[in-house]
């Protein structure tokens, strides 16, 4: 029987003043353990989603925990029958989740609420429940009675909060997102704006789905995930949605029956916003994907710099191994 692929989603807000020095060792650990996915590093912390055999993923997570600053990072596990990522990447960023507020201190976060206590909190009529995810994510699933800001990007959340939330009116605010990182940063922003009683779901939706029985759940629909599974159901199994490979939005069979849908080129949600030149580029890309698939290859569009870095690390490891043999 084929062993399932383990997908680990993790993050931690913590001061990493030497974060640039962590990139190559982490990429080496991913390549050595045949773990794919992406890890983001910034001065404010670490954020990643990776996949591989259970033993390989655990070895990578153990490597992270060897750094005392990362020892207590939040991690959620889910499973799939196929590898959801094409390559291994470690990227340096200004923020591990981009809000675009330079003077924000993520350590000044709101109050964690465990999945076991979440239902009670959001049943309180005085609580304003906010989905901090993007519009296309909340469209396929969310909690009962949640407010959907309909933001296209997490960068839009500060403007939404300024225009729609008031610390005098919204005295209790609870927020959630996929894995916990966006809602945690959102609570720090609201506290900076004068909101006192702010809560966020620890571990995000994925941890809630893992720990709360479906019979007791206040979650409705599926949860969008940023990998090839597209979405997961309440059992954290691959969901029912496909994905438009032009705009990355989740799509249904009905969407694929639309005259505005063309595989790899457009879907009903993005067709009218694409220029003829863009659709032409997408058609060529889709053609190359199909040709690669016919050859039994993967067309992943990896950028040249990342590929060069991986080749450099591989050569370095080979030289080190050769020196050990010679000595």
Q: What is the 3-state secondary structure (H, E, C) of 68-134?
A: HHHCCCEEEEEEECCCCCCCEEEEECCCCCCCCCCCCCCCCCCEEECHHHHHHHHCCCCEEEEECCC
Please, are residues 30 and 60 in contact by the beta-carbon 8 Å criterion?
Answer: yes
In this structure, the number of other CB atoms found within 10 A of the CB of residue 283 comes to 16
3-state secondary structure of 265: coil
In whole angstroms, give the CA distance from residue 170 to residue 124. 13
Q: Interhelix angle for 54-65 vs 19-32, to 10°? A: 160
Please, are residues 188 and 211 in contact by the beta-carbon 8 Å criterion?
Answer: no
CA 115 to chain centre: 19
Looking from the CA of 33 toward its CB, the CA atoms found within 13 Å total 23
In whole angstroms, give the CA distance from residue 208 to residue 218. 10
* Catalytic pick among 75, 177, 223, 270: 177
- Which among 91, 1, 99, 16 is positioned nearest to 48, based on CA atoms? 91
- Please report, for residues 86, 95, 116, 299, the alpha-carbon distance to residue 154 in angstroms, rounded to integers and kept in the order given: 25, 12, 27, 29
Q: Is 177 marked active-site?
A: yes
Please, are residues 123 and 199 in contact by the beta-carbon 8 Å criterion?
Answer: no
Q: Who contacts 43 (Cβ-Cβ below 8 Å, separation ≥6)?
A: 15, 16, 17, 19
Strands (DSSP E) along 165-249, which ranges?
172-176, 197-201, 219-221, 223-224, 231-232, 242-243
In whole angstroms, give the CA distance from residue 109 to residue 111. 7
Provide the annotated active-site residues: 177
């Amino acid at each position: 029987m084929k062993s399932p692929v383990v997908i680990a989603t993790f993050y931690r807000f913590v001061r990493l003043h030497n974060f640039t020095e962590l990139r190559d060792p982490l990429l080496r650990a991913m390549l050595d353990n045949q773990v794919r996915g992406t890890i983001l590093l910034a001065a404010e912390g670490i954020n990643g989603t990776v996949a591989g055999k259970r033993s390989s993923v655990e070895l990578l997570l153990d490597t992270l925990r060897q750094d005392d600053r990362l020892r207590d990072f939040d991690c959620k596990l889910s499973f799939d029958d196929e590898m959801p990522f094409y390559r291994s990447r470690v990227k340096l960023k200004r923020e591990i989740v981009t809000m675009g507020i330079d003077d924000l201190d993520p350590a000044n976060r709101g109050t964690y609420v465990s999945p076991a206590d979440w239902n009670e909190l959001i049943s309180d009529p005085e609580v304003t429940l906010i989905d901090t995810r993007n519009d296309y994510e909340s469209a396929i699933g969310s909690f009962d009675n949640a407010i959907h800001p309909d933001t296209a990007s997490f960068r839009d959340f500060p403007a939404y909060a300024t225009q729609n939330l008031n610390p005098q009116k919204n005295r209790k605010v609870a927020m959630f997102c996929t894995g916990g990182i966006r809602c945690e940063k959102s609570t720090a922003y609201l506290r900076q704006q004068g909101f006192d009683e702010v809560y966020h779901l620890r571990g995000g939706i994925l941890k809630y789905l893992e720990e709360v029985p479906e019979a007791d759940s206040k979650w409705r629909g599926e949860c969008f995930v940023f990998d090839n599974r597209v979405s997961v159901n309440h059992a954290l199994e691959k969901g029912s949605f496909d994905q438009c490979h032009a705009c990355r939005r989740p799509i249904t069979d009905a969407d694929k029956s639309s005259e505005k849908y063309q595989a790899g080129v457009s879907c009903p949600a993005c067709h009218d916003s694409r220029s003829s030149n863009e659709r032409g580029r997408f058609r060529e890309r889709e053609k190359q994907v199909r040709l690669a698939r016919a050859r039994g290859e993967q067309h992943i569009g990896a950028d040249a710099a990342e590929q060069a870095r991986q080749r450099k690390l591989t050569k370095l490891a080979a030289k080190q191994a050769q020196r050990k043999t010679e000595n």
